[in-house]
Amino acid sequence: MIVTAGQRIGLLGGSFNPAHAGHVHISLEAAKRLQLDKVIWLVSPQNPLKKKDDLAVYSQRLEFAKHLTAPHPLIAVSDIEQRAKLFYSCDTIAYLKAHYPQTHFVWLMGADNWQQFNRWRDWQAIADALPIAICDRSPLTHTALHGKAATRYRHARLPERAELVTHKAPAWQFLFLPRHPLSATDLRNSLGADAFSMA
C-alpha cells in the first residue's frame, strides 16, 4: 500500500462480498466531495459482525475487487488487514496512523454501518481517532441520524460543505450523495456463484 505524507486518503473497509458498482460509486462520489487523493478499499479477512460461512474465500473477494476497480486509478485495493493480521477496524486504523503519521485519513462508511456503529469494537476510539464520512443509504437516513453513534457525537457533526478530512477528530459528516441501487446482498441473492464472475 503506497501512501505518501500529506495525502488525503479515504478508507473504505468491508468484506466486499462481492465488491460491486455501488462501492465504486460511493468511493468516487466521496472522493470528489471530500477532495481525496485516493480511496483505499480494506478487504476484511472476516467481518466480526457477519457469519464466516456467508463469505466467499478471501482471495476471490480480493481479486474481484481489484478487477472491478482496475478502470479507476483513484481507488486502490489493499490486503493489509490479511497481511498484518488485523481483524478489527480499530486495530487497522491504529496501524495505519502509526505507519503513516503525516497522512490525512478519513473513514468512509454507509449509513447502514453508522446505524450500528456502536456494535463495533472500540467504536468510540475509532470516532476519536479520525474523521468519518457517512454516505447516505436509503432507507436508513433517518435511523442512522438518530442512532447511538449520531447521538453520542452530535456535537461533532459538521455541515456537509465544511472541511472534514483535516478536521480534528471527533468529526463526522453525513454525505447526501446520488444513490446507487446495487447492494452486495442483492447481488449475491440474484447471481449466486456468478456474483464473482470476471467475464
Q: What pTM did the predictor assign? A: 0.89
More confident residue, 136 or 186: 136
Does residue 3 lie within any of the structural domains? no
Domain assignment present for residue 1? The answer is no
Specify if 13 maps to a domain.
yes
3 state SS for 147-174: CHHHHHCHHHECCCCCCCCCCCCCCEEE
User: For the chain, what is the domain count?
Assistant: 1
Residue 151 lies inside a defined structural domain of this protein:
yes
Q: Is residue 41 part of a domain?
A: yes
Does 184 reside within a domain?
Answer: yes
Scan for cell 464466516, then name that residue. 52
For 106-150, write each residue's pLDDT tens digit: 999 999 999 999 999 999 999 999 999 999 977 778 889 999 999
Mean pLDDT of all residues in 140-167: 94
Whether the bond between 159 and the residue before it is cis, its omega within 30 degrees of 0, is: no
The model's pLDDT over 69-115, given as tens digits with 9 standing for 90+, comes to 999 999 999 999 999 999 999 999 999 999 999 999 999 999 999 99
Tell me the residue range of the domain where 124 lies: 8-191
CATH of the domain at 150: 3.40.50.620
Main-chain dihedrals φ then ψ at residue 106, nearest 5 degrees: -130, 135
